[in-house]
Chain A
Amino acid sequence: MNTRDSLSRRTSRRTILKGMAAGAAAGAATRIHAPAIIAKQSTWDLAKAAEPYRGVEINAFFLERPGYVAAVQMIPEFEEITGIKVNHDTTPYENAHEKQVIDFTGGTAQYDIVLVDVVWIGEFAASGWIVPMDKFFNNPELADPDLNLEGFFPILLESFGTWDNVIYGLPFDNYSGLMFYNKRMLADAGFEAPPSSWQELFEVYGPALTKDGKYAFALQSRRGETQSCDSFMRMVWAFGGSLLNPETFEPNLSSPESLAGLQFRQDLMQYMPPDIVEWDHDETVQGLAQGNVAIITEWSANWTTITDPSKSTIVEDAAVAIEPAGADGQPHPALGGFSLAVNSASPEEKQAAAYLFIQWVTSEAKAKDYVINGGVSGRQSVYQDPEIRERYPYADALVESWSKYGNPIFRPRFPEWPQISELIAETGSEMMLGSISVEDGAKQLDDQIREILKDYIEGNKPRLQ
């Protein structure tokens, strides 16, 4: 393929993606009017809305992450206002999908408030396991007139909460990939600013910062979603590649762009810790926080750890920026996060109580409390607050990433992703270890993915991702 073809193909793909994002935003915008109009007709008050559900007990599915600790701190206030008792079950991410799916398929409704990762929404929604939010938005007794769906970053509402143009969840625990770095290590090597592109990181910063047992960069690559999302897909997108052709759903990992990204990852490994293939988020954040690694690309929520004096030795030297730019001169930051949704199998009164909690904890009114408690809100307004901007230096980079560079299909959201993710995690790790070449690994994955997506490719299923 010549350069012009390649460029035109890339441009076309990008145009489609931007179009999708814009369409999603427009879709979200049209949807918000319904609850607002209905709600204006009455004077709405949370305590009054919760009156019929006083004494109802609901269970929420939470993770062991800062955003959930933040929400737990807010629960007593909600319980006091509403009289609804909110229990929470804290689970490691690795077991979250399995635990919830078993609950859904067993019909046990153990959790009334369901946690939906960006890559689970297609599966949960298409299977009918979560309730379309219209049911609550159209109920004037429950819908808050200040709900303001437009106030969410459009990309978050689209990616985390929407499937096939129907809203199922409200963005709750929101991440963008950001570049965190150690200013002192960079300054000692003669750099005043972090690398602006991946190529610069490889050619200039890598050799200068990798010495004396310290490493220029760490790319979390442990087998699991960390490998498939944080490591593999990050590099595929950065060099113009993609998992699939968005129009035909044919696998695209063997394209020159995708292979370039994956080969770049292999080359960059010389500037990473030798056991990087076993590094998860914790090890990567600690690598930076303990001064062993100069630069990492991690989720925004990790700023809390990097600047916590009890966990970090670089509090004064920590800095943050947008992820480095890819081959096209644009950053392609990773996108991840969760929405909260209501379990279809829960009884009506629990569904209503669960919705009231979700609406409240993700509201604009509570966004500042949520951020101050350690969460990363998906509300745009909170990042305009001078106190928040002053206190959280990552806010500017985060807002810019979501507003300008976010990719709503960083990972496809259809129900087959967990299966594909398992395969990528396995073969991606093998590639990094050199057990299989980049080309052979990509071809093997393409073949496996083609088999999994056969129904989409043959047109038997709508091509939603």
Chain B
Amino acid sequence: MDRIGADRPGGAIAAGWTDEMPRRATLRRRINWTAVSMIAPAVLALLAIGLFPLLYAVNASFRLYQLTKPYLGHPWVGLDNYRAALQDDLFWASLRRTAVFLVATLPVQVVLGVAVALLLHSTRWRKLSAVTRVLLVLPIATTPTVVGLIGRLTYNRDFGVVNWALGQIGLGPFSWLGQPRPAFFVIALTDTWQWTPFVALVALAGLTAVPEDIVEASRLDTGSGWEIFRHVQLPFLWPGITAILIIRTADMFKLFDMVFIMTRGGPGVSTELVSLYLQRLGFRIFDLGVASAQAILLLVLCIALSRFYLRVFYREIEA
């Protein structure tokens, strides 16, 4: 039997198949079992570590789920947890803080990352560019906990290298982590340090996809680098930038390790982002029902923002 022929329009009849032939048999013949057996473990693993916890959290969000009070059981409470979540002032406060963090850091990371990518793409020092690309991976590859520890030491008021350097020119010492605004600034700066290289690498990949002849032609057409960037290179960057916006937004809703190690949400509540608050509610107070409801609300918010980014920023590249 010629399977390829069966796939073509009219091919099935030509190959001796009729409309009465059961569709299931057709499907069975189309399944590539070798491919299925190779993909299945990964799919199952994804279902186990991705989908199952999500479904578990959805289920928990509709139940009374206080981990340290097992005697209360886990009765169905309908939307009570969602009601409690939406009426929780601390949740809203931490969400506002996260929104400020997002607005303050993400645009900076995108602009800086694209600028670094343009520099690396245009440099004539090819070897320097290659070395820099490797170096850019280092902050991304560093464990967030280690980044937090480095930040804690770097910005230490008495022993930190930042205050030491400022002291050399007669400034400081500044209490970076001991005051609310500087602490917020410092975690934003540390996040920018770690993730700007990621933007740069993605943008660099976008720039290398721009056909060289188009760039040359536009260079002859206009001498302005800004015009070339805006009309020739930027359209190739938008898909990557959209992906970055989606990934980094989700990251910031989940940002925990680095901030927890650096400030533990303090001083006061000045750096308590929503993930730290959820961790506190879920694993310090052990109210998993309300914590799950808040996590599901965050997921919905994240999906909505992703749709917004796709609608506003995503552009197909026209040939």
Q: Which residues of A contact B (CB under 8 A)?
A: 94, 97-98, 101-102, 105, 123, 127, 222-224, 273-279, 283, 286-287, 290, 292, 415, 418-419, 422, 426, 429-430, 432-433, 435
Q: Are A292 and B158 in contact (CB under 8 A)?
A: yes
Q: Given A274-B178, A276-B178 in contact, is the A433-B68 Cβ separation under 8 Å? A: no
Q: Give the complex CA separation of A434 and B157 in angstroms.
A: 20
Give A223 to B67 CA distance when docked, in angstroms: 24
* Contact of B157 with A273 in the complex, beta carbons under 8 Å: yes
Chain B residues in 8 Å Cβ range of A426 = 268-269
The 7 A-B residue pairs with the shortest CB-CB distance, nearest first, are A275-B178, A223-B266, A275-B175, A278-B178, A430-B268, A98-B283, A277-B267
Q: Roughly how many angstroms separate A279 CA and B263 CA in the complex, as a whole number?
A: 10
Q: Across the interface, do A224 and B280 meet the contact criterion of CB distance under 8 Å?
A: no
CA distance A101 to B268 in the complex (A): 26
B285, A277: Cβ atoms closer than 8 Å: no
CB proximity to A under 8 Å, residues B172-220 = 175-180, 183
Q: Which residues of A contact B159 (CB under 8 A)?
A: 286, 290
* A278-B158 contact, Cβ under 8 Å, with A105-B68, A223-B265: no
Chain B residue at smallest Cβ distance from A97:
B284
Which parts of B75-122 form the interface with A (CB within 8 Å)? Answer: none
Supply 24 A–B pairs (Cβ within 8 Å), ascending by A: A94-B264, A97-B284, A101-B67, A101-B68, A102-B283, A222-B266, A223-B265, A223-B266, A223-B267, A224-B264, A273-B178, A274-B179, A275-B177, A275-B178, A277-B178, A277-B266, A278-B183, A278-B263, A290-B159, A415-B68, A418-B285, A433-B179, A433-B180, A435-B180
Most chain A CB within 10 A, of B68, B175, B176, B284, is at B68
Let me know if A127 and B267 touch, CB within 8 A: no
Of B177, B269, B283, B284, which contacts A278 at CB under 8 A?
A: B177
Which residue, B67, B264, B285, has most C-beta atoms of chain A within 10 A?
Answer: B264
Q: How far is the CA of A284 from the CA of B180 in the complex (A)?
A: 20
B286 within 8 A of A: yes
Please name the residue on chain A nearest to B182 by beta carbon: A275
> Which residues of chain A have C-beta atoms less than 8 A from B280's C-beta?
422
In contact, B178 and A422 (Cβ under 8 angstroms): no
Q: Is there contact, CB below 8 Å, between B286 and A101? A: yes
Mark each residue of chain B from 247 to 267: 1 if its CB lies under 8 Å from any CB of chain A, else 0: 000000000000000011111
Cβ of B223 under 8 Å from chain A? no
Contacts of B68 in A (CB 8 A): 101, 105, 123, 127, 415
Inter-chain contact A98/B284, CB cutoff 8 Å: yes
Contacts of B16 in A (CB 8 A): none
In the complex, whether B70 has a CB less than 8 A from a CB of chain A is yes
Residues of B within 8 A of A105 (CB): 67-68, 70
Of A222, A273, A290, the contact of B264 (CB 8 Å cutoff): A222
Nearest-CB distance from B167 to chain A (Å)?
11
B284 touches A430 (CB 8 A): no
- If over half of A's interface residues share one DSSP class (helix, strand or loop), that class is named, otherwise mixed; here it is helix
A171 smallest CB distance to B (angstroms): 24
Q: Please, which residues of chain A bring their CB within 8 A of the CB of B266?
A: 222-223, 277-278, 429
Digit string of B264-296 for contact with A (CB within 8 Å is 1, else 0)?
A: 111111000000000010011110000000000
Residue of B nearest to A286 (CB): B159
Tell me the B112-137 residues at the A interface (CB within 8 Å).
none
CA gap between A97 and B285 in the complex, in Å: 11
Which residues of B sit under 8 angstroms from A415, Cβ to Cβ? 68
A222 CB contacts on chain B under 8 angstroms: 264, 266
**A419 surroundings in chain B (CB, below 8 A):** 284-285
Measured between beta carbons, the chain A residues less than 8 angstroms from B269 are 426, 429-430
Contact check: which of A102, A290, A422 meets B158 at CB < 8 Å?
A290
Contact B268 A429 (CB under 8 A): yes
Kindly provide the distance from the CB of A105 to the nearest chain B CB, expressed in whole angstroms: 5
Closest Cβ neighbor of B173 among chain A residues = A213
A418 partner residues in chain B, CB cutoff 8 A: 284-285
User: What mask results when residues 226 to 262 of chain B are scored 1 for a CB within 8 Å of chain A, else 0?
Assistant: 0000000000000000000000000000000000000
Taken together as a complex, chains A and B put the C-alpha atoms of A278 and B184 apart, in Å, by 13
The chain B residue with its CB closest to the CB of A419 is: B285
The CA of A277 and the CA of B157, in the complex, are separated in Å by 12
Residues of B within 8 A of A127 (CB): 68, 70
Residues of B close to A102: CB separation below 8 A: 67, 283
Residue from A274, A287, A422, A435 within 8 A of B268 (CB atoms): A435
Task: Name the residue among A275, A430, A433 with the largest chain B CB count within 10 angstroms.
Answer: A275
Q: Is the CB of A275 within 8 A of B157?
A: yes
Nearest Cβ on chain B to A399's Cβ, whole angstroms:
33
Chain A residues positioned under 8 Å from B177 (CB to CB): 275, 278
- State the CA gap A430–B156 with chains docked (Å): 20
Kindly list chain A residues whose C-beta atoms are within 8 Å of the C-beta of B268.
223, 277, 426, 429-430, 433, 435
Per-residue 0/1 for B148-180: is the Cβ within 8 Å of any A Cβ (1 yes, 0 no)? 000000001111000000000000000111111
Q: How far apart sit A454 and B148, CA to CA, in the bound complex (Å)?
A: 39
Beyond A223-B268, A275-B175, A433-B267, 15 additional pairs, beta carbon < 8 A: A98-B283, A101-B67, A223-B267, A273-B157, A273-B158, A275-B177, A277-B178, A277-B268, A278-B175, A287-B158, A415-B68, A418-B285, A419-B284, A430-B269, A432-B267
Question: In angstroms, how far is the closest chain A Cβ from the Cβ of B190?
Answer: 15
Most buried by A among B176, B267, B285: B267
Set of chain B residues within 8 Å of A101, measured between Cβ atoms: 67-68, 286
Contacts of A94 in B (CB 8 A): 264
